[in-house]
Structures are given as C-alpha cells and as structure tokens.
Structure 1
C-alpha cells in the first residue's frame, strides 16, 4: 500500500488464456479507484491462478510484473499507462515453472526485474520513467526471489538468488561481482536472503541453508557454514535480531538460528502455521526493539508473537481471511490481507 491506497494484482476467471489486472483501492473502505488489465497466456504454468509479485509504488508510479512476464509502469493515482513491456517477447525472458514472482525493485533511476532473460540477463534494469533497457546482468535463469540492494563495506551490491547461483551484481552496471553455486531442485529459489553483519543467509526447501561471508573486496566471498537437513526454508523471508535469524523450516516450523555459527537454538514444532508439504507464514516486525512480531499463516490467521534467543511466545491469534500465501501489508494500526477471492482490512488495536 501507499498513502491511502492499496494496490493488488489478480487474474479474473480461469483457464490458460486470460488476463491479469492491477487494481487500486481506497485503504479505508476498499472502494475501487482504478483497474488496469492486459492479456496473459499462462500456458501450462503450475498454480496458474494469478500473479505472484507485489506492486511497487514509488514517486507517484506503480510498477507491476505479471506471472507471464508483462511489466508495467502506471500512474499510481489514475492507473494511466506510462509504459508497458512484454519481457518474454522483448528481451527473451524465460517463464519459470510457477511463473514470474519477483516484485519490481526501484534503485535510483532504474527499476530492476528478475526475469531470467538469458545472455547474462537474470536481472534486467530498465529506466523507471521510460521502460528502456539500461543493463542486463547475472548468469542464471529466473527464480522467484526479489533482488535486494545491500550495503557492505560501504559499497552498494545487488543480491539476486537464482535457481543455480547466489549472485552479487554491481547495481550501477549489472556486472557480476561474484556468484556462489547453489543449484536448487525445480528451481525454487524463493525466500528472501538475509544480510546482516557481513553474512548472507540463503535458505532453500530441498538443500537447506548456506551462509556466505562477504569479504572486504567486492569480489571476495566464502562459505561461513551450511546445514542441508535441519534448516530448510521455502517462501517465508526470515527475520533477524540480536544475532539470531528466525526462519520457517519445512519440517519443524519456526526456528531460531544463531547466524554466526549455525547453531539451532529452538523450534516451535509447527504451532504457528499448519504443518504442510509447503508451509508458509509471512513474518514482519511490529516493534523490533521489544521482539514483537506478527505473522499471517497459511490458514489466514494473524498471529502476534514475541521472538528471542530463548524461543517464541504466542500473544494472540485472529482469523482475518481464508487460506492464503500472499504477504499482508501493514500501515499504522491496520493490516490488509488478500486471498484468491477477498481483500480485507483489519484494525490491529
């Protein structure tokens, strides 16, 4: 959401051939402000129920990436098209099994798209005002993880996790600074990597967690530790506080992990979200200084918790929507959540 408006993407109807939409709604009432639609052929895409990526709003413009590869820049107030491009047709982007899922990232004058365009185009940088290509970088095909610009040793670096490598690019030029092999089964590079204190945590469903140590020079990287069986994330982005990473494992539920050493501190035994083949929860800090966090689990329950080195304490639980994997949005004392059929707003206090 941005200001007093909420932005979502969806796909009306069913079937391989159809359309995708970006919608803008009033945050206080849910009243539709505008709707922009384009055609989208999903072919044999798995879970072909609709777009996966969040809408990114910046400087009066809304940026969207559809599951079939259409990228659009719209006027955030009116929905008027500023530019729109089919990345598959224009740049040779290759649709991954479950469709494009990484949200657009604004970096200065550029918008970054993780679309696996081949020929060193894992990430495309487009001029955010015109949609024209600025650079392409990274060796991998498209995964599902949103790239992130971090600052290490005073230098800006773009981390892009693909199906075959953890990649670090120069965000100004797209040049590859380093890439670390991490080939994941079915290409499911999904969960957002966590960077803290010179360490980069990457966790996958099939092959567990790797923590990379970034060196002083831009090209220097090494393996700090790895655990291939006890710490296997999927979609949920981890949180961090006081040396501890909080990660949803596919078997044991939420876990506390000492980031520097890889020591497992505790597991919640699947109490916070249902144990499932593909468990999911969306974790956010409500007040990090006190360890207060909130999560929306796969059943649509909003759960308030306190996280720490010693464990997790559940403080409250409320059913706010039906089954969902979509990340909620928080602003002030409200939370907005969506499923395949509903968009809801709830007061937190």
Structure 2
C-alpha cells in the first residue's frame, strides 16, 4: 500500500464550483442543470484545461469541493487498485491510495467499475474484487477498509463488482451479494456491519432509495429478482422474479409516480405498478432492451438507449415507443453505451458522452430529438463523466481530462 500526499491549494471559479459527488450526480438521477448556460453554448468549442495519465477502469468520475476522484488499476510492480485525487482547477495530483488485488480471469478485467462517493469529507469506494474503503477525501488516509469477500462472504460476479456505494444516513450500502444478503449495510464511520438483506447474489446495478406512498424503499435489482428492501433494517418488502441471462442486471432502475421500470439486454423492459408489492404493468422483451446506460425521464416520457435501435423515447406508463434515433448518437455495437444527463431540463436540453468519447448536445422531446453539436473530448470510454458547473471531467483507460464548455 502506498500513499502520496502533497499540499495543494484549491482555487475554483464560481461557475465551476458545483459538485458531482456520486454516481450520476448529486441525487444519482442524471440531472446537471448548471446555471448560466449562454444562449450560443452549442457554438462554443470546448477548451481542454488539463489531462492526467491514469490506468484502466470503467468507473465514473466524481467531483467535490474542488477535487476530482477516479479509480484505476495498475498491474506492476504489484497488481493494485487505486483511488486517485486531482485538483479540479489544475489537474495536479493531490494523493493516491492503493490496495493489492488479484483480478485473475475476470471478464473485461481492465480495472474498477464503480464511482467514488464523496460526503462530508470522506470518500467511499468499492473495488472490482470487493474491497470497500472509506478514505479521508482531502488526504487519502484510510479510515476503514473491509474486504467484503473475506469478511462478509460476498461472491465476485463474472464481470466484478460494479455497483457504486450508496450512502444513506449513517450507513453505506453495498450491492455485493454477501452470504444471506444481496445488499450489505456498513456503518459509514466504522465499517462495521449493520445489516444485510435480499435473496440475490450480486448484480451490477447501483441500488437506489425511492419513496413510495410515504415509505422509503431500497430498490436492488439483482440477477434473479427485482428486490425492495427496508433501508433501515434490510428486511425484504417484496421481490419480483426476473432472471437475467448471464446475470447482467446493470442499468439503473427508474421510479416515478408509482411506476418502477427496469430494463435488461436479453429480456427487455418491465414496468411495475407499486402497492404493497409489485404488479406487472407492462413488458416489452424485444423492442425496449437497455444494457448499461441509465435512462432519463421528463413528463412521463423515458429516454433510454436500446441495444439495437439507439436512443428511444417511450411512455413510462404504457411502454408505447414514440421514436428511435437509429444509432446516430452513439455507435451501433453489441454493447452500445452512452452516459446521458439533463443539461437544461426545462428546455429539454440534454448532454451525453458516447462510447467514442464524443460530447453531444441534444434536445429530447416526445415528438423528436435534435442534435445541436458534438465535440471529441476523449478516446473510447464507457465510464460516466462528471458534469460540474461549466466543466466536464471524463476518463478513458489512459487519461483523465477536464474541459471548460463555455
């Protein structure tokens, strides 16, 4: 284990001060909506501020208090996973923290899959082999560390642990498929186990907490069930069977107005009407098939990447498909990917980073989509970027980059 700590001052302009502290932003819902977007923003060519060399990984980028966080893997002189921290303004490395791992024959085993979650001066990370860490966000010092495989009986799935840590009150929630618990809750200050719950082994989908009929539920989509747990105790509220080929429950579920949507690559989308349990509202096994990309929602319309047809718009409550973009926004592929966020939701303006590393501005409406501009900002990537103020931070298997957008 190695720690490199340097003293550095953080100087952030007002326009770049907003945070992106966890997977998919502050509320993990893909909403960016920065202030001060200029009228001619789509004609303004992005300006690269800095780049830094990093190792490989699929985990997204996060930003908090002027610092940028990302995970990677190094194979020599020892095989280690790392959390890296950079100054958001200059790109200067502040610290790195590492621990030894062995990926073995893990499929797509280039590096970590999850995003670092930053809260109250602490950084929470989960590696692909199940090492959960709580670090001091300013220095990288390990505050606690738990190997969930050795300590909790977690079983590493085919493509490694991918769900990002979720912080709920005094607990950090990990979707690691521990023995007798799909999700395990650790005390966020000590790392001690608080509870575990759910019948499934580990999938790849980051859990989320919803509030339905005034009651909080933890939705954990696993390889064999859609699961609802009590986030305070881990007790199972309900489960709905949905066995996924190869266990690839990946894309984040979506909840709105009593309806919960999940979508898988092999067996398509299912929408449930929630009550005391979950009742199937509609399903489409062939024409609405998501994989990794998390959907967006506005006014009852879902915008989601389909495995064959590209970005689609469909009605949440009926499943009626309104349009498909025919693979123009991200390349057609057996594993298509884009990271999609609301840029100005009130004006139907979205931004996405596609698998080719292109930043694309687009308007999304029930009747059509319209591309406004696209800019090459990094190489090929599946990792979710961080959007903070007027900047985007993106990573590939070789570098981390920062761009000013206006």
Q: Same fold (TM over 0.5)?
A: yes
**Alignment partner of 1:122: what SS?**
strand
Q: Gaps (5+ residues) in structure 1?
A: none
Contact 1:64–1:103 (8 Å) recurs in 2: yes
**Alignment partner of 2:177: what SS?**
coil
* Aligned match for 1:245, one of 302, 305, 320: 302
What RMSD, in angstroms, separates the aligned Cα atoms of the two structures?
1.0
How far the C-alpha of 1:220 sits from its partner, in A, is 2.2
Contact 1:118–1:139 (8 Å) recurs in 2: no
Residues of 1 paired with 2:162 and 2:110: CA distance? 13
* Aligned match for 2:374, one of 311, 317, 329: 317
How far the C-alpha of 1:14 sits from its partner, in A, is 7.0
Q: Trace 1:280-295 onto structure 2 (pairs within 5 A).
A: 280-295=337-352
2:93 equivalent in structure 1: 32
**Alignment partner of 2:112: what SS?**
coil
Residues of 2 paired with 1:152 and 1:311: CA distance? 31
Q: Gaps (5+ residues) in structure 2?
A: 1-62
Q: Trace 1:34-183 onto structure 2 (pairs within 5 A).
A: 34-119=95-180, 121-183=181-243
Q: TM-score, normalised by structure 2?
A: 0.84
Residues of 2 paired with 1:347 and 1:328: CA distance? 13
**Greater RCO, 1 or 2 (C-alpha within 8 Å, sep 6+):** 2
TM superposition outliers: structure 1 runs of 4+ over 3 Å: none
Q: Say whether 1:4 aligns with 2:66.
A: yes
Contact 1:74–1:81 (8 Å) recurs in 2: yes
Contact 1:14–1:49 (8 Å) recurs in 2: no
How far the C-alpha of 1:76 sits from its partner, in A, is 0.3
Residues of 1 paired with 2:212 and 2:362: CA distance? 31
Residues of 1 paired with 2:368 and 2:163: CA distance? 31
* Aligned match for 2:326, one of 257, 266, 269: 269
Residues of 2 paired with 1:26 and 1:311: CA distance? 40
Deviations 1:43-68 (A, max 9, x none): 11001100000000011100000000
**Alignment partner of 1:93: what SS?**
coil
* Aligned match for 2:268, one of 204, 208, 212: 208
1:279 equivalent in structure 2: 336
Distance 1:61 1:265, change over 3 A: same
Residues of 2 paired with 1:181 and 1:283: CA distance? 28
1:189 equivalent in structure 2: 249
Deviations 1:209-251 (A, max 9, x none): 0001111xxx322000000000000000000001100010000
How far the C-alpha of 1:73 sits from its partner, in A, is 0.1
2:6 equivalent in structure 1: none
Residues of 2 paired with 1:13 and 1:291: CA distance? 44
**Alignment partner of 1:126: what SS?**
strand
Residues of 1 paired with 2:68 and 2:124: CA distance? 13
Residues of 2 paired with 1:194 and 1:288: CA distance? 17
Residues of 2 paired with 1:348 and 1:177: CA distance? 44
2:363 equivalent in structure 1: 306
Residues of 1 paired with 2:340 and 2:101: CA distance? 31
Residues of 2 paired with 1:263 and 1:330: CA distance? 31
Deviations 1:97-146 (A, max 9, x none): 00000000000000000000122x11000000000000000000000000
Residues of 1 paired with 2:384 and 2:189: CA distance? 27
Q: Say whether 1:343 aligns with 2:381.
A: no
Residues of 1 paired with 2:328 and 2:192: CA distance? 48
**Alignment partner of 1:201: what SS?**
strand
**Alignment partner of 1:223: what SS?**
strand
Q: Say whether 1:221 aligns with 2:278.
A: yes
How far the C-alpha of 1:171 sits from its partner, in A, is 0.2
1:230 equivalent in structure 2: 287
**Alignment partner of 1:90: what SS?**
helix
